[in-house]
Amino acid sequence: MNSTPDHEKARQHALERLQVLDTVEEQAYDDITRLAADVCGTPIALISLTDNHRQWFKSRMGLQAREMPRENSFCSHAINAPHNMLIVPDTATDERFVNHPLVTGDPKIRFYAGAPLLTRDGHLLGALCVVDTVPRELNARQLEELQFMAHQVLVMLESRADSGQQISEP
Q: pTM for the whole thing? A: 0.87
Bridge partners of 48? 57, 127
Domain count, the chain: 1
CB 120 within 8 A of CB 158: yes
β-strand pairing of 54-61 with 67-69: antiparallel
- Position 170 scores a pLDDT of 42
Task: Identify whether 166 is part of a domain.
Answer: no
Task: Identify whether 168 is part of a domain.
Answer: no
The DSSP line for 105-164 is STT---EEEEEEEE-TTS-EEEEEEEEESS-----HHHHHHHHHHHHHHHHHHHHHHHHT
- Position 6 scores a pLDDT of 67
- Position 85 scores a pLDDT of 92
- Position 73 scores a pLDDT of 76
Cα–Cα distance, 96 to 157 (Å, whole number): 30
CATH number at residue 93: 3.30.450.40
Task: Identify whether 68 is part of a domain.
Answer: yes
Question: How confident is the prediction along the chain (170 residues), in pLDDT tens digits per residue?
Answer: 445 556 788 888 888 888 888 889 999 999 999 999 999 999 999 999 988 888 899 999 999 888 888 877 777 766 666 678 999 999 999 998 999 888 998 889 999 999 999 988 888 899 999 999 999 999 999 999 999 999 999 999 988 777 665 554 44
Task: Identify whether 72 is part of a domain.
Answer: yes
Domain that holds residue 56: 5-161
β-strand pairing of 124-132 with 111-118: antiparallel
Cα–Cα distance, 69 to 86 (Å, whole number): 19
- Position 169 scores a pLDDT of 44
Task: Identify whether 133 is part of a domain.
Answer: yes
CB 40 within 8 A of CB 113: yes
